Structure 1
Amino acid sequence: MKNTIKKLAVVALVTVFASSFTAVGGEKKTVKTEESTIVWKGYKVTGSHEGTIAIKSGTLEFNKDKLVGGEFVIDMTTISSTDLEGEYKGKLDGHLKSDDFFGVEKFPTSKLVFKKVKASGKNAYNVTGDLTVKGKTHAIDFTISIYGSKATASLKIDRTKYDIRYGSASFFDDLKDKAIYDEFDIVADLEF
């Protein structure tokens, strides 16, 4: 009988001890993909181009009212320019979807998974996440602000880390005014 009581006491103690170090499950909020937007902007020596890309799915995770995680899948087949029209828009959109850039036939989605979230102000957070583009995953740091049921995130992405080297002066000489800068910007306006 004493052994049984001792065993039960040990099990209870281990359970209490383990649960005190286990994170309390947060509340996952689904991002409303139709009401959310992602705008990209890429830069070249002679100017820039910008456009949109759709969110396939996304969640933000909260513990009480604090952001603690998130995960997004981006539909790369929807990438398009908004600063051109007609034939030039068609050419750029097709080129962005080709293997020179995002290779959407082979890689139709990209993914972002939050790994570390740290509050940097009342509604602001610094996030480190794993970004997967064209089957390659690299850590990325960015900021996100939360206001009620809306969020805004800004990311600067080095495309060469994901084997997108077309027009990069880091890999090709004599590009002159045809060079495309390695980094591009993403601004996401989210509703959840």
Structure 2
Amino acid sequence: MKNTIKNLAIIAFVALVTVSFTTVDKEKKEVKTESSKVVWKGYKVTGSHEGTIAIKSGALVFEEETLKGGEFVIDMTTINSTDLQGEYKGKLDGHLKSDDFFGVEAHPTATLVFKDVQATGKNSYTVTGDLTIKGKTNPVTFSISIYGSKATATLKVDRSKYDVRYGSTSFFDGLKDKAIYDEFDLVADLEF
């Protein structure tokens, strides 16, 4: 009887140790940058502007079919407007790249690193991550939906947290109809 109990205890101990040190494999799926797209939209008192920006690199991390993490590098030098043409497009694109806005010469990339991922449905998640723009890092929370090898994420970003001051009523008084709202939207359509 003592040997049976001892054998069962040894088997239970070995099973516990085996399970404790067994890791679930996480799969890192690289984002196809050429077929993925990020659209931005900024708002001002008198209207809005929108455009695109390229993903330099990115990946989503899965455990089986469940999203567990991700990280992205955005090529800030590619920021451009899609709602204007000619001279006005050139002026806006240049201004967005200047130190008034994103200062892309000194800060050519922005990053997003997922810190916490919570499932909110079968294919949807709420993500909290660290967004770095112009060398300043702040937490952001956003939604992402995943269907097969595609994902869509929507973010609202408060530019005042990243020292993007131009036309911001958070920094300047008396702007009236020249004011540009601090929050802008990002919509990412990803393929991996």
TM over 0.5: yes
| Rounded Cα–Cα distance in structure 2 between residues aligned with 1:46 and 1:55 | 30
Matches within 5 A, 1:45-56: 45-56=45-56
State the secondary structure of the residue aligned to 2:96.
Answer: helix
Q: In the alignment, which residue of structure 2 is the partner of 1:59?
A: 59
| Rounded Cα–Cα distance in structure 1 between residues aligned with 2:27 and 2:40 | 29
**Structure 1 moving runs of 4+ over 3 Å:** 12-18
Q: Which amino acid aligns with 2:179?
A: A
Q: In the alignment, which residue of structure 2 is the partner of 1:91?
A: 91
State the secondary structure of the residue aligned to 1:69.
Answer: strand
Deviation at 1:14, TM superposition (A): 9.7
Q: Which amino acid aligns with 1:19?
A: F
Matches within 5 A, 1:137-156: 137-156=137-156
| Rounded Cα–Cα distance in structure 1 between residues aligned with 2:116 and 2:66 | 13
Deviation at 1:19, TM superposition (A): 2.2
Deviation at 1:151, TM superposition (A): 0.2
Deviation at 1:170, TM superposition (A): 1.3
Q: In the alignment, which residue of structure 2 is the partner of 1:5?
A: none
Q: In the alignment, which residue of structure 2 is the partner of 1:182?
A: 182
Matches within 5 A, 1:14-93: 16=18, 19=21, 24-93=24-93
Matches within 5 A, 1:92-107: 92-107=92-107
| Rounded Cα–Cα distance in structure 1 between residues aligned with 2:164 and 2:74 | 17
Q: Which amino acid aligns with 1:102?
A: F
Deviations 1:163-187 (A, max 9, x none): 0011001111110000000000000
| Rounded Cα–Cα distance in structure 2 between residues aligned with 1:15 and 1:159 | 49
Q: In the alignment, which residue of structure 2 is the partner of 1:163?
A: 163
Deviations 1:24-73 (A, max 9, x none): 33100000000000000000000000000000000000000000000000
Gaps of 5+ in 1: 1-8
Q: Calculate the TM-score normalised by the size of structure 2.
A: 0.90
Deviation at 1:15, TM superposition (A): 5.8
RMSD: 1.6
Deviations 1:143-178 (A, max 9, x none): 000000000000000000000011001111110000
| Rounded Cα–Cα distance in structure 1 between residues aligned with 2:25 and 2:161 | 33
| Rounded Cα–Cα distance in structure 1 between residues aligned with 2:137 and 2:15 | 41
Q: Does residue 1:109 correspond to 2:81, yes or no?
A: no
| Rounded Cα–Cα distance in structure 2 between residues aligned with 1:131 and 1:119 | 20
Q: Which amino acid aligns with 1:178?
A: K
| Rounded Cα–Cα distance in structure 1 between residues aligned with 2:16 and 2:104 | 50
| Rounded Cα–Cα distance in structure 1 between residues aligned with 2:56 and 2:170 | 32
| Rounded Cα–Cα distance in structure 2 between residues aligned with 1:91 and 1:109 | 21
Q: Which amino acid aligns with 1:68?
A: K
Q: Calculate the TM-score normalised by the size of structure 1.
A: 0.90
